[in-house]
Amino acid sequence: MVSGGRKRVHTTWPDGQEFVEEFSAQTEELLVRRWKAAASALGKAPSWEYEIGEAPAVVGASAGGSALGGGFRVSSSRNPAFLCRDSPDCFVWRVRNVPYAEEVYQLAVDHEKQQILLRTSNKKYFKRWDIPTLKRLGLGLDMSRLSYSHSGTTLVIKYEKDDTVLVYEEESRQRRLRAVDAGGADGDVGCAQQ
């Protein structure tokens, strides 16, 4: 579907899982990638898990997602915020609201768990995460592809994509283009009206 300057690819599986990717209609840049597991046996619908991008802010809701609770929510101006982004040649993460000097940050790779570790020498911030695309392709992490820079209160971490990931993303892009071409100019994939 093409709407609001974004191309959205929504995939569902027979077991109830859902997968959504949103791309810029002009640049084909990946803006959002999110997953939702199947509903539980009791019928509770799970929330979306964002792999790339971030969930839209809920105005007037508490940190627990409920409109009840007196409007309390986590401060967006003081607490660090970890955001995943994507670029054509690397995976990018931004950690906002971390005002420490650049030499305080330490990056490492946990090869056993295939996760990236970020810690500060002043013990003010610690984060552990993986790269789901690499896990799906069965690729391991390489410390030499990892870099970071710090400006103001934002730390930018980059992991350079290897050729296998670039080929996979190009094949995915070609599949999307064929699906849109097969469905018409407006992104309608040929759903019959009753």
User: 20 in a domain, yes or no?
Assistant: yes
Instruction: Kindly tell me if the per-residue pLDDT of 69 is higher than 80.
Output: no
User: 133 in a domain, yes or no?
Assistant: yes
pLDDT over 90 percentage in the chain: 38
Q: What are phi and psi of 111, to 5 degrees?
A: -70, -30
User: 25 in a domain, yes or no?
Assistant: yes
pLDDT digits (tens, 9 = 90+) for 46-63: 888 888 888 776 555 444
What residues pair up with 160 in beta bridges, in sequence order? 90
Could you tell me if 162 and 90 lie in one domain?
Answer: yes
User: 175 in a domain, yes or no?
Assistant: no
Per-residue pLDDT, averaged over 140-161, amounts to 94
User: 184 in a domain, yes or no?
Assistant: no
The backbone region for 25, taken as left when phi is positive above 0, alpha when psi lies in -120 to 50, beta otherwise, is alpha
The backbone region for 104, taken as left when phi is positive above 0, alpha when psi lies in -120 to 50, beta otherwise, is alpha
Alpha-helical regions (H) of the chain: 132-137, 163-183
User: 135 in a domain, yes or no?
Assistant: yes
CA angle 138, 140, 146 (to 5 degrees): 135
Instruction: Pick the range with the lowest mean pLDDT from 6-20, 57-71, 72-86, 120-134.
Output: 57-71
User: 107 in a domain, yes or no?
Assistant: yes
Residue 129 and residue 108 in contact, taking contact as beta carbons nearer than 8 Å? no
Residue 192 makes CB contacts below 8 A (sequence gap 6+) with none
**Residues counted in the chain:** 194
Q: How many domains does the chain have?
A: 2
Question: Which residue range forms the structural domain that includes residue 7?
Answer: 1-40+47-54
Could you tell me if 85 and 143 lie in one domain?
Answer: yes
Could you tell me if 102 and 162 lie in one domain?
Answer: yes
Could you tell me if 31 and 99 lie in one domain?
Answer: no
105: domain CATH number is 2.60.40.790
